[in-house]
């Protein structure tokens, strides 16, 4: 990477012009390195929402929002979704290269050998109300893992970091399935390490001790694809949260719990649940027009959930793949005439043709279709974000690891533009108006 170019920043208020290095990435926009700005000029930059701010160097994921491109370690998401399984993608994100056969077998075994959680974790579940949201349980129990693995919390030790990564990727499906089982009052199902990562998760979600459970391969493949498509997504809100939490030296379990908490919001990972809730609220194809109108009315405060993206302003390549899977799963289950599926297809069609959505480049995003797929598979709406979280854990861990190994990283500490009262004196209570 060459840091040769400079850019000059000039000011109209008499502050002397200054030069700043321009950093070049492999692809994508250059970055003006303004770390010395405050020291040189006494000024800070103002960029709420980080619209024009790169917070780190990263070699993991690349997105070109205008072209609808998503690369993990340089590989297009379409090829990974079609040619690899989720654990190969995990290996890639963590190690930078795809595994060969022997590496894959070793990695798969390592992950499957860590799927069980400590038996005392069960006690944490009993402390939650039965109607607790599974995401609330997941935030709590993932955070609680830090209390169980003191043996691997030395952040400067790469093998400690590796075993923490394996534990997190292996145990997230178990904890997510336990959160669901607890909420429906069924006994927890232990992992079955002879199954695939996705197949094992389905079994832990849906099996009951009184019946044999057979994994449907088409549905397991669809779930695996959901995991691949959600595995990483550059410096989004939850990943930035993980990095920020980790920048203080917090342990990986605490950092991932922070990421899960951030993901829960409806503008981020909570969108798939919110989208299905919205479809249920609309209820019938005849009411689609009414809701499109409401989404266009700024005073209504209503947005079409599952539409729009901060980065993808052309189309979301994950949505294209998920749309394919959506049709495949609905076909396999004979649900093409399902009321909500038909309603979602009508909503998709109208929004894609409507000027308001076309002009603002608001296309259906991955969560629009992934919610429909998961519902068809029998997964309840409130589990969708947990599934996003378990799939994204590998991305969070890879990004956290990259940050820990980056000598340029410091504790994250943004500046602010203070707009409150200037310094003033406290007066006695009797004198206050």
Nearest CB to ligand CMC, comparing residues 3 and 66: 66
Among 152, 365, 393, 399, interactor with ligand CMC by CB under 6 A: 365
269 contributes a contact to ligand CMC by CB under 6 A: yes
Long-range contacts (CB closer than 8 Å, 24 or more residues apart) made by 411-419: 411/247, 411/248, 412/55, 412/243, 412/244, 412/247, 412/248, 415/38, 415/44, 416/44, 417/44, 417/46
268 labelled catalytic: no
Q: Does 233 bind ligand CMC (CB under 6 A)?
A: yes
Residue 368 CB, nearest approach to ligand CMC (Å): 7
Which among 233, 309, 338, 425 is annotated as catalytic? 309
Cα gap 425→305, rounded to integer Å? 48
Distance in Å, CB of 233 to ligand CMC, minimum: 6
Q: 108-147 mask for ligand CMC (x: CB under 6 A)? A: ----------------------------------------
The CA-atom distances, in angstroms, between 405 and each of 155, 201, 399 are 10, 32, 10
357-390 burial, b at 16+ Cβ within 10 Å, e below that, comes to beeeebbbbbbbbbbbbbbbbebebbbbbbbbbb
Which CB, 191 or 306, lies closer to ligand CMC?
A: 306
Tell me: does residue 18 bind ligand CMC (CB under 6 A).
no
Is 242 one of the binding residues for ligand CMC (CB under 6 A)?
Answer: no
Stretch that binds ligand CMC, among 75-83, 188-196, 359-367, 410-418 (CB under 6 A): 359-367
Q: Is 9 helix (H, G, I), strand (E, B) or coil?
A: strand
Residue 362 found at the interface with ligand CMC (CB under 6 A): yes
Distance (Å, rounded) from C-alpha 306 to C-alpha 335?
21
- The answer to whether residue 352 forms part of the interface with ligand CMC (CB under 6 A) is no
Of residues 296 through 315, those in contact with ligand CMC by CB under 6 A are 303-310
Residue 320 binding ligand CMC, by CB under 6 A: no
Q: Does 236 bind ligand CMC (CB under 6 A)?
A: yes
- Complex with ligand CMC: residue 271 or 288, whichever CB lies closer: 271
C-alpha–C-alpha distance, residues 331 and 85, integer Å: 22
- CA pair distance 173, 34, nearest whole angstrom: 41
Given the complex with ligand CMC, which of 207 and 365 has the nearer CB atom? Answer: 365
Burial 27-62, CB ≥16 within 10 A → b, else e: eeeebbebeebeeebeeeeeeeeeeeebbbebebbb
Residue 364 binds ligand CMC (CB under 6 A): no
Catalytic site positions: 309, 367
Binding site for ligand CMC (CB under 6 A): 233, 236, 267-269, 271, 295, 303-310, 360, 362, 365, 367
């Amino acid at each position: 990477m060459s840091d040769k170019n400079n850019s000059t920043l000039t000011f109209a208020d008499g502050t002397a012009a200054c030069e700043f290095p321009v950093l070049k990435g492999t692809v994508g926009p250059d970055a003006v390195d303004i770390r010395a700005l405050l020291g040189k000029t006494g000024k800070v930059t103002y960029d709420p929402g980080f619209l024009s701010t790169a917070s780190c160097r990263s070699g993991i994921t690349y997105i070109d929002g205008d072209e609808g491109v998503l690369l993990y370690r340089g590989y297009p998401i379409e090829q990974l979704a079609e040619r690899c399984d989720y654990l190969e993608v995990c290996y890639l994100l963590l190690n930078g290269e795809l595994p060969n056969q022997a590496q894959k077998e070793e990695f798969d075994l390592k992950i499957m050998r860590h799927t069980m959680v400590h038996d005392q974790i069960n006690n944490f579940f009993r402390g939650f109300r039965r109607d607790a949201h599974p995401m609330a349980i997941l935030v709590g129990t993932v955070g609680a893992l830090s209390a169980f693995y003191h043996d691997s919390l030395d952040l400067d030790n790469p093998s400690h970091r590796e075993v923490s990564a394996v534990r997190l990727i292996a145990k997230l499906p178990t904890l997510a399935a336990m959160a669901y089982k607890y909420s429906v009052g069924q006994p927890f199902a232990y992992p079955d390490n002879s199954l695939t990562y996705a197949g094992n998760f389905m079994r832990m979600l849906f099996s009951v001790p009184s019946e044999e459970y057979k994994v449907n391969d088409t549905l397991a493949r669809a779930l695996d694809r959901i995991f691949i498509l959600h595995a990483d997504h550059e410096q989004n809100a939850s990943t930035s949260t993980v990095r920020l939490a980790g920048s203080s030296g917090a342990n990986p379990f605490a950092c991932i719990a922070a990421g899960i908490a951030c993901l829960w919001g409806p503008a981020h990972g909570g969108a798939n649940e919110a989208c299905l809730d919205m479809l249920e609220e609309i209820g019938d194809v005849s009411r689609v027009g009414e809701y499109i109108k409401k989404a266009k009315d700024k005073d209504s405060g209503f947005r079409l959930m599952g539409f729009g993206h901060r980065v993808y302003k052309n189309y979301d390549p994950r949505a294209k793949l998920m749309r394919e899977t959506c049709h495949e799963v609905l076909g396999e289950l004979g649900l093409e005439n399902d009321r909500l599926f038909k309603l979602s297809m009508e909503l998709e069609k109208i929004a894609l043709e409507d000027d308001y959505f076309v002009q603002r480049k608001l296309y259906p995003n991955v969560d629009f279709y992934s919610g429909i797929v998961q519902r068809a598979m029998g997964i309840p709406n409130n589990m969708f974000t947990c599934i996003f979280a378990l799939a994204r854990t590998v991305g969070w861990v890879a990004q956290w690891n990259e940050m820990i190994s980056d000598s340029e990283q410091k504790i994250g500490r943004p500046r602010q533009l203070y707009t409150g009262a200037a310094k003033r004196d406290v007066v006695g209570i009797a004198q206050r108006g």
